[in-house]
Chain A
Amino acid sequence: MDQGKISAGQLTLLIMSFTIGSWVVLPTGIQAWQNLWLIMFMGLGTGLLFAYLSLFLFRRFPGKTLFEIHERVYGPVLGKFISLCFLWFFLQTGGGTLAIFKTLLRSTVFTATPDLAILVPLILILVYGCRRGIEVIARSNQLLIMSTVGLVLVSILLVVNIFNPENLLPFFNLPFSEVIWTSISLAVFPFGQNVLFMMILPRVNRWQKVNGAVLKGMIGAGLVLSTIQFLAVGVLGKSGQILVFPTYEFYRMINIAQFLTRLELIPLLNFLTMGFIKTILCLYALAVGTAQVFNLRTYRPLALPFGLFLLLVAERIFPSISEHMRYLEEVQTFFGLIFSLLLPMMTLGIALLRGLPRRRMAP
C-alpha cells in the first residue's frame, strides 16, 4: 500500500481541485442559470451535510478507508460487493471527466486532433502520477490549484469592461421547488462526488484535522465555482444558458483594448489541470480500492489497467454532449445520491445498529 502521508492543508486543496474538476467547464442545474451562483451556496450547504454524514462514519473508524469500513460493517462478501459498486462509481466519474474534457478540446481548439491523440498522453501521465502515490498527487495539486485560483482572481479584473450587472436581473425569479431541486443536484454534483475522499482520508497525517479541512476545501471550491458562474452570467447574460461550455465562451469574450483578446486557451488548459487532478484521484481510488478488495500488498501495478479502463470508459460513456446533458438532467442526481448519501448512510446506520466498532481503534 501507499505509505505516503498528506497534510490537512493538502487535503483541503485536493478537495478544492476535485470539486472544481469538470463542473467548472460544464455546469449542471443550467435551468437556474441566472441564479446558479447563489444556489451554489445552498448546494454547498446540502453537500456539506452529506459530507459530514460520511465524515461521521470515518470518525467512527479512523484510519480505515471506505472499503475497509464496508468489510467490517457488512462482512467480507457483501462488503466487497458494495465496494465493487463504488469502484464502478469512481470509474464512471473519472471516465466522465476525461470524456468531458476530450469533448471540450475537440469541439473548440483541437478540432482536427483525433480522440486517442488527446487521451493517450493524458492517460500515460495519469498512470505515472498515480504510481508515485498520493504525496506526489497532493504536492503537484498545490501548484495547480494556486494557478487556478490566481486565474479566477485575475479574470475578475479582466471582465470589468464587459461585465453587465443588468444581466444578473431578474433576481431570483425561480419557483421554490426549482431552487430546492437545483440545490440538491448541485449537492450531488459537484460536491457529492467528494465521497471519493473516503478512500484518501486515512492518508492524512492528523485525522483529527480532517473535518476542518473538508469544510475549508468545499467552501473554497464553492467560492471559486460561484465566482466563475457569477462572472459568466454577468458577461454572457441570458444567452449563456443555451451554450454547452459557458465558462469557455465567457473567457472568449474578454477583450481589453483590442490587445488582450482570445485568451480562452489559457483558462481552458488551466481548468484541464483541475480535471487532471480529479481523474488522477479517481484512478488512485480505483487502484487502491481494488488492491484492498483483493487484499493486495501494493496498488501500483493496478494503475496501468485502470488507466486503460478510464480510456475505454471515456470513449464509450456518451455518444454526444447532448446525450450527456440529458444524463445530467435526468439521471445524475439520483445516481449520485445513491453513492454520496444513501450508501454511506446505510453503512453508518448498520454500524450504529451493530454497535461497531466494538473497541475504539487507535488511529
Chain B
Amino acid sequence: MFDFLRRKLRLAHLRKGKPAPRTHRDLSPDLKTNLTAIRRELGASPDLIIRCLKLGSGAEGTGALLFIDGLIDQQVVNRDVIFPLLNGVKRGKFQDGDDLLKYLAQNVLAVGEVKKEPQFGPVVEALLEGETILLLDGHDEALLLSTKGWEKRAINEPDAERIILGPHDGFTENLRTNTAMLRRKITDPGLHFEEMKLGRRTRTGVVIAYLKGVVNEKLVEEVRARLKRVNLDMVLDANYLNEFISDAPLSLFPTVTFTERPDVVAAKLLEGRVAIFVDGTPVVNTVPALFVESFQSPDDYNFPFYYATFIRWFRYLSFFLGVLSPALFVALATYHQELIPTSLLITINAATEGTPFPLAVEMVMMGAVFEIIREAGIRLARPVGQTISIVGALVIGEAAVTAGLVGAPTIIVTATTAITTFVVPDLLGPGIYLRLIYTILAGVLGAYGILIGLLFTLLHLVSLRSFGTPYLSPLAPISAGDFKDVIVRAPIWALGTRPRMIGWPRPQRQPIGFPPSGDEGEEGEAEDDG
C-alpha cells in the first residue's frame, strides 16, 4: 500500500507540467492595438487603470500609463511618473529624432528601476506584479517602471512562537520586508538570496537564502533542484512547498522546519542551513531539519545557560510524558499492577471500579474529547474559546467522572498529556499519533507493546533523512561534539563549532573559548584571530 502511494508520489514529482500558455507575441507599434490586447487579456477588471497622456508634440507623443490600482504606490506614480512626464518633455532638451522612450527613461522618469520590454507576455506579468507600464504610440517596446506598493501588515510578534526575552519582531506577509529583516540581522556579504517564481497560476515569489562560505554548496543545489520540480498551480503558504520537498512525505515527523522569527532564521543560516521564504506568508522554512531542533527555543539562548539547560531537559521530559503517559498508565494499571505502590493501587482500583470500558478505551476516548475541545478553542474567537475550555474542563471532565463513565485517574492522565504536549509545539502532530498508537499497544500487550512501539519509532526516526542529514543526529549517529547544544545548552562561549552534520564545510564558528576572564587578559586577545 505504502509502496503504491510512494510510487504515485514519485510520479507526481517527476511529471513535467506543461508550461502555462504564455503569449510570445511582440508588442505592436500601434498603441491602440496594444491597449486592446491588454484589455482582452485582463477582462473588464475595474482595478486596471489606463491613463492616456500627451507628451511633447506631434503624433509621436501619444502614450498611455497602465497600472493596477492597489498594487502601486499612488504617490510615486503621481509625483515621480505622471508629473515629470507631463512637464519634463516640454521643458527638457528633447530633440526630434531622438528615441523618445530612451530619453524618458534617462532624463524624465524619477523612479528607481526602469526596464525596456519588447514582448507582450512579460509586460502583462509585470503589470500584475504592481509595476507601471508606459506604452508609446509608434514604439514596439514598453517601459516597466518599478512602482510597487501595497497595504502591508505592520511587524508584529508572532503568535505561535512567543518568547520572554529577546527580539520580538516576526516576519510579515511581504517577501521584501522579510528578506530585509534578515539582512538587518546578518550584515555579511555572504548572505545570498535567489528568487524564483513557483505556482503556475499564483506565480508566488520564493526566495532561497543561505550564507555563502558557511553553507554546504551541495545542499543549496539540492534545495534548488527540489524547488524546481515543484509543479503546483498555487503556492499560498510555506507548507505547500514543505510537503513537496520533504524527504519523507509520508512520515509523521517534519523533515522541514518552519518559523516566523527572523532571529531563528538568522541563527539557522549561521549554522549552515538554507532558508526558503515564500511571498505572502510570514512562515519561513529551513532545511535540513533535525529532531532535536524541535526542542530548542530561541529563549534558550536569551537566558543564562544553566537555566536554559534545565528548561530544555524539562522540554524533553514533557514530550516523552505527553507521548507516553497514557500508554504507561494503561500498561501499569492493566498488566503490571505490582509496579504501582500498594496504597496508590488501591486508590486507582477504587476509582476505576464500575466504569464500563477497559482502561485503554477510556484513555483513547478522553484523548479524542480533548482534541475536539482544543480544536474548538482554536477556531473560535478568543473570548468564546475560553468558554469552550471551561465547559470542556469542568462539564465533561467533572461530569464524566461523577457519572461513572470514566475513572478519575484517566482524567488526570489526560490532563497531564494535554499540558505536556504543548511544551513542544513542533511535534504536536506526531505526538497525537504516537500517543494513540502507544496507548492501543499498551492496552493489548502492556509494557511489551510500548517497547515494540518505541523500537518501531526508533527504527523509523533513524532511517529518516532531511536533505542528506540524518534526522536523529547528533543522537544517532552519535556526534558527541554536538551534545553541547542538545543535551545541555552550553555557555555561548563554548558553542564554538557548528553542528557537525550540517555546518561541516566551515565548522569553526568562533575561537573555542574558555570562560572569558574578568580582567582583560592576554589569552583572550591572543585567541581572537583564530
- B456 and A136 contacting across the interface, CB-CB below 8 Å: no
Knowing A105-B448, A121-B445 touch, does A129 contact B459 (C-beta < 8 A)? yes
Q: What B residues does A269 contact at CB under 8 A?
A: 447-448, 451
Q: Cβ of A51 < 8 Å from any Cβ of B?
A: no
Docked-complex contact B463 and A110, CB < 8 angstroms? no
Pair A136/B455 contact, Cβ less than 8 Å: no
A139 x B455 contact (CB < 8 A): no
Whether the pair B339, A128 counts as a contact (CB closer than 8 A) is: no
Neighbour of A142 across the interface among B336, B338, B452, B477, CB < 8 A:
B477
Within 8 A of B (CB), among A1-37: 7, 9-10
Contact digits for B314-357, partner A, Cβ 8 Å, 1 yes 0 no: 00000000000000000000011011010000000000000000
Known A-B contacts A105-B448, A132-B463, A142-B476; the reply to A276 vs B455 at CB < 8 A is: yes
Task: Report the separation of the CA atoms of residues A330 and B7 in the bound assembly, to the nearest whole angstrom.
Answer: 53
**B14: Cβ under 8 A from any A Cβ:** no
Do A110 and B448 touch across chains, with their CB atoms under 8 A apart? Answer: yes
Asked whether any CB of chain A lies closer than 8 Å to the CB of B130, the reply is: no
A125 contact from B455, B472, B475, Cβ within 8 A: B455
* Chain B residues within an 8 Å CB radius of A259: 341
Compute how far the CA of A265 lies from the CA of B338 in the bound complex, rounded to whole angstroms. Answer: 10
A313: interface (CB < 8 Å):
no
Taking the complex as formed, is A46 at the interface, i.e. its CB lies under 8 A from any CB of chain B? no
Cα separation A113 to B463 with both chains bound (whole Å): 31
Within A82-135, the residues touching B (CB, 8 Å) are 105, 109-110, 113, 117-118, 121-122, 125, 128-129, 132-133, 135
Whether A125 and B476, one on each chain, are in contact in the complex, defined by CB atoms closer than 8 angstroms, is no
CB contacts (< 8 Å) of B477 on chain A: these are 7, 10, 138-139, 142
Q: For the complex, is B478 an interface residue (Cβ under 8 Å from A)? A: yes
- A143-B446 in contact (CB<8A): no
The residues of B that contact A183 with a CB separation of less than 8 Å are: none
Q: How far is the CA of A122 from the CA of B441 in the complex (A)?
A: 12
Contact status B456-A265, CB under 8 Å: no
CB pair A139–B476 under 8 Å, yes or no, is yes
Interface residue from B335, B448, B462 paired with A136 (Cβ < 8 Å):
B462
Q: Which of B456-505 contact A (CB under 8 A)?
A: 456, 458-459, 462-463, 470, 472, 475-478
Are B456 and A128 neighbours in the complex by a CB distance under 8 Å?
yes
Q: Say yes or no: is A140 at the interface (Cβ < 8 Å to chain B).
A: yes
Q: How many residues of B contact A (CB 8 A)?
A: 25
Tell me whether B449 is interfacial, beta carbon within 8 Å: yes
Docked Cα-Cα span, A273 to B338, in Å, equals 23
In the assembly, what is the distance between CA of A273 and CA of B455, in Å? 8
State the interface size on chain A (CB cutoff 8 A).
32
Contacts of A128 in B (CB 8 A): 456, 459
Q: How far is the CA of A13 from the CA of B455 in the complex (A)?
A: 17
A132 to B335, CA, bound (A): 32
With A and B bound together, what is the CA distance between A123 and B51 in angstroms?
Answer: 75
B126-179 at interface with A (beta carbon < 8 Å): none
Task: Identify the closest chain B residue to A142 (Cβ).
Answer: B476
Chain A residue numbers with a CB within 8 Å of B449 are: 121
When the two chains form their complex, are residues A265 and B459 in contact, meaning their CB atoms are under 8 A apart? no
How far apart are the CA atoms of A140 and B456 in the complex, in Å?
10
Closest to A258 in B: B341
Shortest Cβ distance from A252 into chain B, in angstroms?
A: 10
B476 near A265 (CB under 8 angstroms)?
Answer: no
Chain B positions within 8 Å of A129 at CB level = 455, 459
Q: Are A9 and B447 in contact (CB under 8 A)?
A: no
Once the chains are docked, how many angstroms separate the CA of A142 from the CA of B445? Answer: 26
Docked Cα-Cα span, A122 to B456, in Å, equals: 9
A202 to B31, CA, bound (A): 74
Complex formed: what's the CA distance from A272 to B470 in Å?
Answer: 26
B448-A9 in contact (CB<8A): no
Interchain CB contact (< 8 A) of A139 among B336, B444, B462:
B462
Contacts of B476 in A (CB 8 A): 139-140, 142-143
> Contacts of B456 on A, CB cut-off 8 Å?
125, 128
Which residues of B sit under 8 angstroms from A132, Cβ to Cβ?
Answer: 459, 462-463
The CA of A355 and the CA of B444, in the complex, are separated in Å by 59
> A110-B445, A143-B458 provided; 12 other pairs, C-beta below 8 A?
A10-B477, A117-B445, A121-B445, A125-B456, A132-B462, A132-B463, A136-B463, A139-B462, A139-B476, A265-B447, A269-B451, A273-B455
Binding site for A on B (CB under 8 A): 335-336, 338-339, 341, 444-449, 451-452, 455-456, 458-459, 462-463, 470, 472, 475-478
Q: What 10 pairs between A and B have smallest CB-CB spacing?
A: A139-B476, A139-B462, A136-B463, A129-B459, A142-B476, A132-B463, A140-B462, A121-B452, A140-B458, A269-B451
A-B contact pairs, 29 of them (CB 8 A): A9-B478, A110-B335, A113-B445, A117-B445, A118-B445, A118-B448, A121-B449, A125-B459, A128-B456, A128-B459, A129-B455, A132-B459, A132-B462, A132-B463, A133-B463, A139-B462, A139-B470, A139-B476, A139-B477, A140-B459, A140-B462, A142-B475, A143-B458, A143-B475, A262-B339, A265-B447, A269-B447, A269-B451, A272-B448
